[in-house]
Structure 1
Amino acid sequence: MITLTGKSVFGGIAIGPLVFYKRNEITIKRNRIEDTEQEIRRFTDARDQAVSQLKALYEKALEDVGESNAMIFEIHQMMLEDLDYQESVVNIITTQGVNAEYAIGTTADNFAAMFAAMDDAYMQGRAADVKDVSERLLQILSDNGGEGMKLVEPAIIAADDLVPSETVQLDKDNVLSFITMFGSANSHTAILARTMNIPAVIGLGEALKPEYDGRLAVVDGLEGVVYIDPDDATLAKMRSKQAEELAKKALLEELKGKENVTKSGQKIHIYANIGNLGDVGSVLKNDAGGIGLFRSEFLYLESETFPTEEQQFSVYKTVAENMAGKRVIIRTLDIGADKQVGYFGLAQEENPALGYRAIRICLKQPEIFKTQLRALYRASAYGQIAIMFPMIISVEEVRRIKDIVREVKEELREEGFAFREDLELGIMIETPAAVMVSRDLAKEVDFFSVGTNDLTQYTLAIDRQNQKLDDFYDAHHPAVLGMIRMAAESAHAEGKWIGICGELAADLSLTEVFLDMKIDELSVAPSMVLPLRKKVRESL
């Protein structure tokens, strides 16, 4: 048995024969050309044919994975029509007197190297795109046409890498999984895989060898592990794990598309909490109605320095696109307390939970805040993003936030960036102070989201990180539930909606209590979406 370890793109278990992706390999030769004008016409004719193919791929992807994810093929069309790309090809043909194939291959290598050298992960992912469109041109010029590989039986697809057009052309009914030697988690192929619910592992490196073609393999997309020629014990274990996944899938299929509505007709939104881009696949897989909490601080926790506007924009944009019009509520950075980041240079505090954290950092260091807000507003042009602010204690804080938001929007307008003017702004209700002035706060914002973890901590004056206090910590305390009810009444009195994104949202013993409070939305871990839907549908 051979065990390979990579990076999971989408979870699930796949068992079947391994088939290496077979391309129409093209050897690019440098040939001298006398009639450069004729060679340029060959290039432009191939480009026009490629654009037609990409339009057809767009239509197919539109049906398979939705408009947002199909847009990659419109982007590929734009790449082919990009003047810099075209001028590079034409210039190489003209000045060097060479064939179109050589000029295209050289341009592809140059542009891909340029993208790969950029610091931004999203732009690095575009290196594969420029090679994809160039390969399409080369296939057309060699009369190979660009047809995808045909599968005659279900199989696990293996490749050095897979570009978007190859992924979308695969026969989904026969694809059990895909695994690659290389690839980026930010690539459009990875996004498509997550959207199409195909278990996938990337970054297996040179250990994934073509000689494994035809062998039995197991892909554990949950752990990012691939087993080649699994032994009997491993195979039995993986089949058991697969059966558990299939049972969960059966539950998903049973409840998928059904409303979150009680027997008496009361409806509630059920959203999912996520920490990073990789969690979006679980949100889609579990049929959540949206994302109720995107913990953006993980972008900071996983970085060695402040993430740039472009880096943040790339992540927020991708999440918005993947969610295809469903609401995505992104919490601005909640650093401090138990989430320390070295490069922020935060001083040691005796009571960090009561100290310099979350919105307090943002208001004291507005340059950090504005960078994130710019990225969020720019990404709002690609989906239904909403923003919420943590650790609010006063109306004055909200008004200061809104002033900064106005500055950011004016800057973006002047710079010509598109964004949604009607983007929803909300606040976290996680301090007793916010609850006590919640009626006034509701006049200033579009929604509330209750962070029950901190609200419980601050209401009971108990450090939730202190294990010695576990016996005293009671998330069901009447005072905590009373705080949530008061916040709900204040929100509704001002015509605003309220959700809960803390751990209590997934506490099924409290679901009927929250329904009685007329809570509008519950946001939970993706794995809890379906159990919560089941509980709601069984409630009176």
Structure 2
Amino acid sequence: MISRERILRGIPVSLGFASGRVFVRPDYLFDFPETVVEPAAVAEEVERLRNAVAAARDDLQQLHERVTREMGRDFAEFISVQLAFVTDADLGEQAERFIREKTRNAEFAYSTVLKEMTGRMAGARPVLFRERAPDLFDAGARVLQHMRGDEPQSLLEAPEGSVLAARSLPPSEAALLNPDRVAGLLLETGGRTSHTAIMARAKEIPAVFGIKGMTRRVRDGQSVVVDGYRGMAVVQPTERRLRSYRDDITRYRRHRRSLSRLVDEDAVTADGRVLDLSANIEFLAEARAALDNGARGIGLFRTEYMYLARLRPPTEDEQYDTLSEVARLFDPMPVIVRTFDLGGDKVVPGYSEPNPFLGWRGLRLCFDNPEMFRDQLRAILRASAHGNVKVMFPMVSSVEELRRARLLLQQAKTELARKGTRFDENLEVGVMVETPAAAIMATRLAQDCSFLSIGSNDLTQYTLAVDRGNERVAELFDPFNPAVLQLMKQTIDAAHETGIWVGICGEFAAEPLGIMVLLGLGIDEISVAPAS
């Protein structure tokens, strides 16, 4: 029987068109039947477990090599984390002990221990432990799939030209999306300003989120068209519809080629006003793409992905190596490094904080992890010796928080000076204005820093009390709301009256109409994804 064309509607989060075959990423289920095994069969169950672990290890080692080759070392670090979990002696030993002492089947033993360890990790106080829980979960799922006889697949093993369909996708997994293999992305959850959506745009993958019950309505291998403009997916499209979309895709690609001819032009308005056009990046590979696309600097280097890609915090030297490479790449253009902003939607599903966006994130988290924060500050300071690095603090809500952060920065300077390490004594310090409190106090904050940067995504959600990742209230998330625009205008005026410049690094800056509004408000710099 021929399937009829169906249209699934959601929220357009990444512009563009894509067509391909559906690749459903299932939610892993760990409800394995509990089977009592005979004492004589215990050794066989232990051997089955060890074989599955060895097979999963071999999978991940091959995957690590391929990711390093195709996407670079930054992305391969995410695979290293899962590889470390698969080979973790404690997890394997606990599962084997469970099999021997309780005489249970290997699947049940391993899944039980895995759930217990994931739960403990998800509720751990150290933020990096919490952030690693999904990686432990996925690594364990690969072992269980081998025991079950299934063929394990990761996002990196999606068939070339496929359209990924999933219930949800955390940012740490979205980082592994390879646009050479994944043509489009469809999710049941999430909104336009979630970090997963931001990464889809950065990778130029057309995406639609918030499609209710989507994974129950599509199957692997079905033909699908992703319309990132209208916010819909067309499943089993008619030949007539396919021809229409192919024409759209051709026009879209032609338009992109025409824009590429402008990359070396300055951003100047008709009345002669020059606008600084910078890029938002997470990874070194994006820095190169930003340079190729004509960026005049890095307006936001999101450093939290250095932490999400490892089992342990990156060392000062590891951070310095990455930061200094970006600084050299863009020299003499500015590189603004934001200190790590873990929390918000960069948390794990099992963590029980009632509202992570209003809880332990940004500078609050930095202050509770002073050693980790100092390591990063020293790395930024060392990179500043190149002369084009600036530092920016996230989620500042009071003058007191800014002063506390600056005090820690000064202590890091003192430590480096004592060792004779070079750094920029006059390193510029900026503040992200992401809360109404910061916007209201912008004049006072501007007196204690060198520049302000409006984070329009968070400023909008906090002003309007709208969770930016909740598809149920997505239509209420509106950066054009007069209250949000008033706070932006107040921030811009405060910066100019104090004699400093002000930029914006939220998604509002990538909207054509938003750019017009921002120019009218007097913005000095906009920073957007390299693909924008």
TM-score, structure 2 as length reference: 0.51
2:105 is aligned to 99
Q: CA deviation at 1:76?
A: 0.6
2: CA distance, partners of 1:422 / 1:212: 56
* Pairing 1:7-18 to 2, within 5 Å after superposition: 10-18=14-22
CA gap 1:201/1:65 in 2 versus in 1, 3 angstroms: farther
2:57 to 27, 51, 56: 51
Please tell me whether the aligned partners of residues 98 and 109 of structure 2 are also in contact (alpha carbons under 8 angstroms). Answer: yes
Q: CA deviation at 1:54?
A: 1.6
- The answer on whether the counterparts of 2:24 and 2:215 sit within 8 Å (CA) in structure 1 is no
Q: TM-score, normalised by structure 1?
A: 0.51
Residues 273, 523 of structure 1: 8 Å contact kept:
no
Which of residues 135, 152, 165 in structure 2 aligns to 1:158?
165
* Cα deviation 1:248-299 (Å, max 9, x = unaligned): 532565577x7999xxxxxx9952369xxxx99x9799674754158x9xxx
Distance 1:45 1:187 in 2: 39
Q: Which residue of 1 aligns with 2:337?
A: 329
Hey, what's the Cα distance between the residues in 2 that align with 1:120 and 1:203? Answer: 31
Q: Which residue of 2 aligns with 1:61?
A: 67
Q: 1:137 to 1:242 in 2, by over 3 A?
A: same
Aligned to 1:209: 216
Mark the runs of 5 or more structure 1 residues left unpaired by the alignment: 262-267, 297-312, 334-342, 344-365, 391-396, 412-419, 453-464, 474-479, 488-498, 507-521, 532-540
**Pairwise CA distance, 1:158:** 2.7
1:285-328 C-alpha deviation (Å, 9 max, x unpaired): 9674754158x9xxxxxxxxxxxxxxxx9579569999975444
Among all aligned residue pairs of Structure 1 and Structure 2, give the percentage whose two residues are the same amino acid. 23
Question: Contact 2:27–2:167 at 8 Å: present in 1 too?
Answer: no
Q: Distance in 2 between matches of 1:179 and 1:208?
A: 9
Could you say which structure has the larger radius of gyration? 1
Alpha-carbon offset, residue 71 of structure 1 = 1.0
Counterpart residue type for residue 330 of structure 1: R
RMSD of aligned Cα (Å): 6.7
Instruction: Find the aligned partners of 1:254 and 1:179 in 2 and give their Cα distance.
Output: 31
Q: Is the 8 A contact 1:57 1:165 kept in 2?
A: no
1:78 to 81, 84, 103: 84
d(CA) in 2 for partners of 1:165 and 1:389? 22
1:36 equivalenced with 2:42 (yes/no)? yes
Amino acid at match of 2:16: G
1:96 is displaced (CA, Å) by: 1.2
Counterpart mapping for 1:491-510 below 5 A: 501=503
CA gap of 1:194–1:127, structure 2 versus 1, over 3 A, is farther
Tell whether 2:532 aligns with 1:524. Answer: no
3-state secondary structure, aligned to 2:165: strand
Q: 1:377 to 1:219 in 2, by over 3 A?
A: farther
1:220 corresponding residue in structure 2: 227
Equivalenced residue count is: 403
Structure 1 segment 5-404 matched on structure 2, within 5 A: 5-6=9-10, 10-20=14-24, 28-29=32-33, 30=35, 31-32=37-38, 34-114=40-120, 126-141=132-147, 146=152, 154-160=161-167, 173=180, 175-181=182-188, 196-211=203-218, 216-221=223-228, 224-228=231-235, 242=249, 245-251=252-258, 271-272=278-279, 288=295, 291-293=298-300, 317=307, 325=323, 326=326, 327-330=335-338, 370=367, 386-388=390-392, 402-404=406-408
Q: In structure 1, what is the Cα distance between the partners aligned to 2:152 and 2:82?
A: 15
Q: Distance in 1 between matches of 2:230 and 2:25?
A: 23
**Residues in 2 aligned to 1:318 and 1:123: alpha-carbon distance in whole angstroms:** 10
Q: How far 1:208 sits from its partner (Å)?
A: 3.6
1:223–1:94 CA distance, 2 compared to 1 (3 A): farther
Counterpart contact for 1:150–1:170, Cα < 8 Å: no
SS of equivalent residue, structure 1 residue 198: coil
How far apart are residue 17 of structure 1 and its match? 4.7
Change beyond 3 A, Cα 1:222–1:191: same
